[in-house]
């Protein structure tokens, strides 16, 4: 491979003096070579029996367990989330890999009765070929493995293009799969910028499918580009996730869960709570208490066990969050707490933003409509349940939501009417389990759901086989 002169620094967002890696950026030529290597490795991998592929993937889960603490520490240093959050992400990742390994023994089709005598049909699932996995920085272990593991189990070969901000965890994931026994060429890592190396991968005609998680602006462009040449695309994109808090809610639970959802991982989860839609009767109490909770949160380096909220991932994200806080003020929302860069000896070298709550946000304001991806909560006050539903659904995104209420009929109406792919009842908008499908609707999601019973859908083609054992020319029924 030819040498690339471009490099990027890997910087700890909690302490920018901690530059712990220099990452060489792949060229377009190297990106093409990675796709070619994956194409060459496809036939042998596809012909490896699925349970044998699954066994190798299961070994990767055991190795992740062996390296769980090291990977968690690296994740915190690279992305900034707290160690507890990193350990949680590692556990989720191990569960996903285990689940997918098990699916290798269930790549079943169905047999179907025919309307003709001495005929039947059956279906088989087959891999697609070379698949590209393009991932964001906010779950730099879990999201890659919830794409790579099902892709490999299904018999595809993979080109993995992680976010430029999290190359260290990407390298370790690939090393773990290699150590588990994935043959050369089956899983290929390209570290480089999305608009350059990433663009080359997704434009390559040998890439049959692209599984993307990231922002809407990139995802929609990528969708257009790949689908135009007939490729298959799955996009999981942004969120603006609401909690609805009714007057009969357990207010302690609603406040604590909203704080977890809004400020955990510094608001950098796709499922983060960014809107609290609260009925007037309890809005004053809710706002007072959530502001107190936000103000009490301990910010710091995620490696410190006392830290509750880590930094924004980099300078750009940090500036974006502070800009949105300015926009909230200018648009007339009431800032009730936070609203500034967090400072103090342990914070001055990192990208820390105070957990922030805006009250009296109206649905037309930008902070009610656009994804901020920081520790900022917008409170929208409403008269009643019907208005709450209208406000909660007045949004281009449809990833996750939650309701706090003890009224069963309201809860089930919420489930019926809310326009999100995932719904939580009396719990935060965040979280998910490895064996349960994950993803959004409306502007958030395009294509098959990831994880759970749907994990392999995107990574397989379905063939239908008609079997006629009459031995005679067909008569009648010629449609």
The footprint of ligand NDP (CB under 6 A) covers 134-139, 161-164, 193-195, 198-199, 202, 213-215, 218, 222, 236-239, 270, 371, 373, 399, 440, 444
Choice between 53 and 161, CB closer to ligand NDP: 161
Terminal Cα distance for the chain, rounded? 54
The structure tokens listed for 473 are 């020319």
C-beta of 427: minimal distance to ligand NDP in Å?
18
Instruction: Tell me the backbone φ, ψ of residue 154, rounded to 5 degrees.
Output: -70, -10
List the one residue out of 394, 386, 408, 406 whose CA is nearest residue 361.
394
Residue 166 three-state SS: coil
By three-state DSSP, how is residue 341 classified? strand
In degrees, rounded to 5, the angle at the alpha carbon of residue 356 between the alpha carbons of residues 355 and 361 is 155
Q: Which is nearer to ligand NDP, 263 or 373 (CB)?
A: 373
* Half-sphere exposure for 106 (CA within 13 Å, toward CB): 12
Pairing of strands 400-404, 422-425: parallel
Cβ proximity to ligand NDP: between 54 and 398 the closer is 398
191 burial (CB, 10 Å; 0-12 / 13-18 / 19+) is buried
For residues 167 and 141, what is the distance between their CA atoms, to the nearest angstrom? Answer: 10
Are 44 and 183 within 8 A, CB to CB?
A: yes
Identify how many contiguous H helices and E strands the chain contains and give both numbers.
14, 20
Nearer to ligand NDP, 51 or 194 (CB): 194
Least Cβ distance, residue 216 to ligand NDP (angstroms): 7
From the CB of residue 468, how many other CB atoms can be counted at a distance below 10 Å?
14
Active site residues: 270
- Cβ–Cβ under 8 Å, residues 233 and 223: yes
d(C-alpha 187, C-alpha 181), whole Å: 11
- Residue 107 or 376: the one with the smaller Cβ distance to ligand NDP is 376
Q: Which is nearer to ligand NDP, 157 or 213 (CB)?
A: 213
CA distances to 278, 387, 423 from 415, rounded to whole Å, are 17, 15, 7
Q: In degrees rounded to 5, what are phi and psi of residue 58?
A: -65, -35
Q: Which is nearer to ligand NDP, 239 or 328 (CB)?
A: 239
The least distance separating ligand NDP from the CB of residue 95, rounded to whole angstroms, comes to 17
Nearer to ligand NDP, 223 or 385 (CB): 223
Q: How far is the CB of 444 from ligand NDP (least distance, A)?
A: 5
Q: How far apart are CA 389 and CA 401, in angstroms?
A: 11
Cβ atoms of 192 and 161 closer than 8 Å = yes
- The residue among 155 and 310 lying less far from ligand NDP, judged by its C-beta, is 310
Least gap, CB of 224 to ligand NDP (angstroms) = 11
How near is the Cβ of 357 to ligand NDP at its closest, in Å?
21
User: Could you tell me the sign of the dihedral formed by the alpha carbons of 374, 9, 219, 101, in that order?
Assistant: negative
Angle in degrees, 0-180, between the axes of helices 142-153 and 167-180, rounded to the nearest 10: 30
- Can you name the residues that pair with 425 across neighbouring β-strands? 403
Q: How far apart are CA 131 and CA 157, in angstroms?
A: 6
302 close to 265: Cβ distance less than 8 angstroms: no
Shortest distance, position 208 Cβ to ligand NDP, whole Å? 16
User: Shortest Cβ distance from residue 414 to ligand NDP (Å)?
Assistant: 21
C-alpha closest to that of 357 among 331, 396, 328: 328
Q: If 0-12 CB within 10 Å is exposed, 13-18 middle and 19+ buried, where does residue 38 land?
A: buried
Instruction: Name the residue number minimizing CB distance to ligand NDP.
Output: 194
- How far apart are CB 316 and ligand NDP at their closest, in Å? 9
């Amino acid at each position: 491979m030819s040498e690339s002169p471009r490099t990027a620094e890997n910087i700890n967002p909690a302490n920018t003096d901690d530059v712990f890696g220099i990452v060489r950026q792949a060229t377009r030529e190297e990106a093409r070579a990675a796709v070619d290597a994956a194409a060459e490795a496809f036939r042998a991998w596809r012909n490896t029996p699925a349970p044998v592929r699954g066994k190798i993937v299961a070994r990767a889960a055991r190795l992740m367990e062996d390296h769980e603490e090291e990977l968690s520490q690296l994740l915190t240093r690279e992305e900034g989330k707290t160690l507890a959050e990193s350990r949680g992400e590692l556990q989720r990742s191990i569960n996903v890999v285990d689940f997918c390994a098990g699916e290798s023994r269930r790549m079943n089709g169905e047999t179907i009765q025919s309307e003709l005598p001495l005929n039947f049909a059956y279906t088989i699932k087959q891999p697609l070929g070379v698949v590209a996995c393009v991932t964001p920085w906010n779950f730099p272990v879990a999201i890659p493995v919830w794409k790579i593991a099902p892709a490999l189990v299904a018999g595809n070969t993979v080109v993995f293009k992680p976010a430029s901000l999290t190359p260290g965890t990407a390298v370790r994931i690939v090393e773990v799969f290699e150590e588990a026994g994935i043959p050369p060429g089956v899983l290929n890592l390209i570290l480089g910028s999305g608009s350059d190396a990433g663009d080359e991968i997704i434009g390559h005609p040998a890439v049959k499918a692209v599984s993307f998680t990231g922002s809407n602006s990139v995802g929609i462009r990528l969708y257009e580009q790949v689908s135009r040449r007939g490729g298959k695309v799955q996009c999981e994109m942004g969120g603006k996730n609401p909690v609805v808090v009714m007057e009969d809610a357990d207010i302690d639970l609603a406040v604590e869960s909203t704080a977890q959802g809004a400020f955990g991982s510094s608001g950098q989860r796709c499922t983060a709570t960014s809107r609290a839609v609260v009925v007037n009767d309890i809005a004053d109490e809710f706002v007072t208490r959530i502001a107190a909770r936000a103000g009490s949160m301990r910010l710091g380096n995620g490696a410190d066990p006392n830290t509750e909220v880590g930094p924004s991932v980099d300078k750009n994200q940090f500036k974006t969050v502070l800009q949105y806080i300015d926009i909230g003020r200018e648009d007339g929302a009431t800032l009730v707490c936070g609203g500034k860069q967090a400072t103090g000896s342990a914070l001055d070298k990192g990208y820390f933003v105070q957990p922030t709550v805006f009250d009296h946000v109206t649905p037309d304001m930008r902070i009610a409509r656009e994804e901020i991806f920081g520790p900022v909560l917008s409170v929208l006050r409403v008269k009643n349940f019907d208005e709450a539903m209208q406000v909660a659904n007045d949004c281009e995104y449809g990833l996750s939501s939650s309701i706090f209420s003890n009224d069963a009929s309201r809860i089930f109406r919420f489930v019926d009417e809310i326009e999100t792919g995932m719904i939580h009842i009396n719990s935060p908008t965040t979280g998910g389990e490895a064996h349960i499908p994950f993803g959004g609707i409306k502007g958030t999601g395009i294509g098959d759901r990831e994880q759970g019973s749907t994990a392999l859908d995107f990574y397989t083609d379905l063939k239908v086989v008609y079997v006629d054992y009459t031995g005679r020319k067909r008569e009648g029924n010629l449609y």
